[in-house]
């Protein structure tokens, strides 16, 4: 753990950090300055990041849903 020199921050900044911490927001954590930020997927997740592709297939999925709804409506109209 690295000792943090809190004199680097103004009193107003520390006040904002405390206010955000009370609300549960932790945008800046001065106690974690010593730990480095992961720079790769291997450091962050221990392996390669696998993209799920949901946004990429959203247009195709919406067309499939429209087709399914149309088929269901046609089946219900014949009954």
Residue 35 pLDDT > 60, yes or no? yes
The arithmetic mean of pLDDT across residues 10-24, rounded, is 80
Q: What is the pLDDT of residue 17?
A: 77
**Residue predicted with more confidence, 45 or 32:** 45
Distance, C-alpha 24 to centroid of its chain: 16
Q: What is the pLDDT of residue 63?
A: 92
6 three-class SS: helix
Q: What is the pLDDT of residue 64?
A: 94
Distance, C-alpha 70 to centroid of its chain: 35
Which runs of consecutive H residues, i.e. helices, occur in the chain?
Answer: 11-23, 41-45, 58-78
Measured CA distances, 60 to 2, 26, 55, 67, 70 (Å): 50, 38, 10, 11, 15
Determine the Cα–Cα distance for residues 79 and 60; give it in Å rounded to an integer: 29
């Amino acid at each position: 753990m690295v000792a943090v020199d809190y004199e680097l921050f103004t009193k107003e900044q520390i006040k904002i950090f405390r206010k955000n911490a009370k609300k549960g927001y932790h945008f800046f954590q001065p106690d974690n300055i010593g730990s480095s930020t992961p720079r790769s997927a291997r450091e962050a997740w221990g392996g390669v990041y696998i993209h799920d592709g949901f946004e990429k297939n959203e247009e195709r999925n919406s067309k499939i849903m429209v087709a399914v709804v149309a088929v269901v409506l046609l089946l219900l109209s014949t009954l």
